[in-house]
Structure 1
Amino acid sequence: MIITRTPFRVSLFGGGTDYPAWYLEHGGAVIGTTIDKYCYLSVRHLPPFFEHKHRIVYSKIETVTAVDEIVHPAVRAVMTECPVEGGIEVHHFSDLPARSGLGSSSAFTVGLLNALRGLNGKISAAQQLGLEAIRIEQKVIGEKVGSQDQMWAAHGGTNFIEFHQNGMINVSKLLMRPGNHDILNDHILLFFTGFTRIAETIAVKKIENVKTKQSQLHTLQQMAVQARETLQSKTPEFHHIGLLLHDAWKLKRELAEGVSNPAIDQIYDAGIKAGALGGKLLGAGGGGFMMFFAPPHTHSNIRQALAKLIYVSCNIGSEGSKVVSYEPVG
């Protein structure tokens, strides 16, 4: 049996510029971090005593005799691309709910790739895992998703990711002076809005609007560059990061209908009034987790103002997808 652990992520700046429809023409850049909340997948060879050949357990339970009968699109695609001899059993469990804006779908794909390759005796480099997950999600499954979540899940850490016009993707660790990474960590608060959504629905609208929203996307890309420069400076102005997030919030709302809604706006406004410098709705929009960027001394006021929401304590910079348990057969 193999168990993989793959992190969720918090994207700070540049979201939207990681869609191939944008960066293959203009380039793109994002900055953000993984958190210590994870997707876990256990995979083992299934004994040949059952009528079914494969058993897949997630929010549903599937028992099938062939891979092409699997309903779950990522499981079906990954098992097709990484065939394993004999039957297998896959179990998924997670620290946080799916469809909540933290890159859970890509964490699932990366974690399953890592597990199946490990079951076949292969060690996977982070870059290889990320790029293969992008190919499977975008080309094999045909999902209208970006290219950042897969790289966060595979690499982990607090990074600056560049998307080049030739299709290359570079992941660079954010080099911060001692202590500044902890200060960044202490400025971040996560709240679950209670709404879940399918990211692809809103992503399709964003992709359709790429040609008419070029000014906003260029600005969002530049914000990622500005944030990198600020955070890597000797004395980062964390206040500036918060205000930049507030500006990005206003810009992201212009990218597509459904990015926000009155209920989300009310949550955001309450956080700002309670002392947050800025914030963002994580993922494509429409629901999921709201992240606020605020000085530590304001956190109690913000949590009190949003007491009806679920607050999630987390730490940033967690490592990428890894095999946490490996028990070879025999």
Structure 2
Amino acid sequence: MIITRSPLRVSLGGGGTDLPSYYREYGGFLVAAAIDKYVYITKHRTFQQEIIVKYSKLERVASVDAIEHPIVREALKLTGVTDPHIELTSMADIPGGTGLGSSGSFTTALLKALHTYRKNLISPAELAEQACDIELNKLGEPIGKQDQYIAAIGGITAFTFHKDGRVEYRPCNISEETHFNLEDNLLLFFTGYSRSASAILKDQNDRSKQNDSAMLDNLHFTKELGYQSLAALEGGNLEEFARLMDVHWQRKKARSSGMSNAHINEWYDFAMANGALGGKLIGAGGGGFLMFYAQDKQKLRHAMRQKGLQEVRFRFDFEGTKVVAQN
């Protein structure tokens, strides 16, 4: 049996500029952090000759080509795994469709398990790029490269997306005090809405390709916010970082009509009036998690509980995608 895990993530600035439709023309930049909430993949040998895939559905098939789950099918093909005695199961600490990059985490964890089975050594950057190849190229999803890279690499990391497709990354130079203050004062609350990011990202993708000036101006501004957020984090100025989160959210809402709704806007405003210095919706929008930087954690937690929102407490993950068990 092989068990792998990949961390989920939160975006800290510049999100949305990692889509090829934008960075191939202008270059992208963002800061993201992996968190200690995971997607797990187990690989087990079946007794009978069949391929079993367990996720929200159960598949029992005779060949790789017969697998319905597109990522599983393409990952098996990419890694050259044709063993007809294989069982793959996925589990997650937090369900998909909640804005924490679960698809990228799923793909990197799956590829890591299959490469481990094949006894292939693979670097985090190679793992991320293979995951991007599956999701963006083979399956044509209108998504960016952030989720796959931060899942594979982990940490609090700055990413530069070059026009030629290269991705450069480095750990953010954050002091220990800033790291702990950031962990203690960033609070995640589940809105209760799960959604597919595809529709919102497809709108951004299509408008970027059409050189829609409003969309491009929004993304240019968002990229600049990413640079400013990195400077605030590395300078230890977390109040400025919180302010930039708020600016980012106000601009992000203008990107698409599906980005927010009346409930999310109400919860956000209530949080800002009750202990939050800044915040935003994590992920493509439309649901998932609201993240706030708190000036008064106790007041903010009480306010969000009053509104019926569930908090998910987290720490940062600095290991990225890894094998957690093998025998």
- Using the size of structure 2 for normalisation, the TM-score is 0.95
Residue 230 (str. 1) matches residue 232 (str. 2): yes
Matches within 5 A, 1:1-330: 1-47=1-47, 49-50=48-49, 53-87=50-84, 88-210=86-208, 211-212=211-212, 213-233=215-235, 236-295=236-295, 298-307=296-305, 308-327=308-327
Q: Deviations over 1:30-74 (max 9, x none)?
A: 112010000010012322x25xx2001111111111112111111
Three-state SS of the structure 1 residue aligned to 2:10 is strand
Distance 1:280 1:254 in 2: 13
Structure 1: distance between partners of 2:7 and 2:154: 7
Residue 56 of structure 2 aligns to a residue whose secondary structure is coil
Answer whether contact 1:195 1:287 (CA < 8 A) is retained: yes
Cα deviation for residue 209 of structure 1 reads: 2.3
| Partners of 1:7 and 1:34 within 8 A in 2 | yes
Partner amino acid, structure 2, of 1:217: L
Return the alpha-carbon distance in structure 2 between the equivalents of residues 112 and 41 of structure 1. Answer: 6
Residue 126 of structure 1 contacts residue 154 of structure 1 at CA under 8 Å; is this kept in 2? Answer: yes
2:175 partner amino acid:
R
Aligned residue pair count:
320
Equivalent AA in structure 2 for residue 37 of structure 1: K
Q: Which amino acid aligns with 2:326?
A: Y
Measured after TM superposition, the shift of residue 178 of structure 1 is 2.8
Q: Using the TM superposition, give the Cα deviation of residue 299 of structure 1 relative to its aligned residue in structure 2, in angstroms.
A: 1.3
C-alpha separation between the residues in 1 aligned to 2:80 and 2:164?
A: 30
Please tell me whether the aligned partners of residues 209 and 256 of structure 1 are also in contact (alpha carbons under 8 angstroms): no
Q: More deviation in 75-84 or 167-176?
A: 75-84
SS class of match (1:198) = coil
Q: Is contact 2:33–2:156 with CA below 8 Å preserved after alignment?
A: yes
**Aligned-pair identity (%):** 38
The CA distance in 2 between the partners of 1:257 and 1:208, in whole Å, is 15
Please tell me the residue identity of whatever aligns with 1:286. G
Give 1:280 deviation, angstroms: 1.1
- Report the secondary structure of 2:173's partner residue: coil
Q: Which amino acid aligns with 1:203?
A: L
Aligned-partner Cα distance in 2 for 1:304–1:208: 41
Is there any run of 5+ residues in structure 2 with no aligned partner, and where?
none
CA displacement, residues 103-161 of structure 1 (integer Å, 9 cap, x when unaligned)? 00110000000000110011221000011111110011111111100001100000101
Calculate the aligned-residue CA RMSD, in Å.
1.1
Bigger mean CA deviation after superposition, 93-102 or 38-47? 38-47
Amino acid at match of 2:182: L
How many Å apart are 1:316 and its aligned residue?
1.7
The Cα of 1:254 is off from its aligned counterpart by 1.3
| 2:112 partner SS | helix
CA distance in 2, matches of 1:303, 1:181: 21
The aligned amino acid for 1:66 is: S
Q: Distance in 2 between matches of 1:32 and 1:86?
A: 36
CA contact (8 A) 1:7 1:318 kept: no
Q: Contact 1:195/1:288 (CA < 8 Å) preserved in 2?
A: yes
Q: Which runs of 5+ in 1 are unaligned?
A: none
Deviation at 1:79? Answer: 1.1
Does the CA-based 8 Å contact 1:209-1:255 persist in structure 2? no
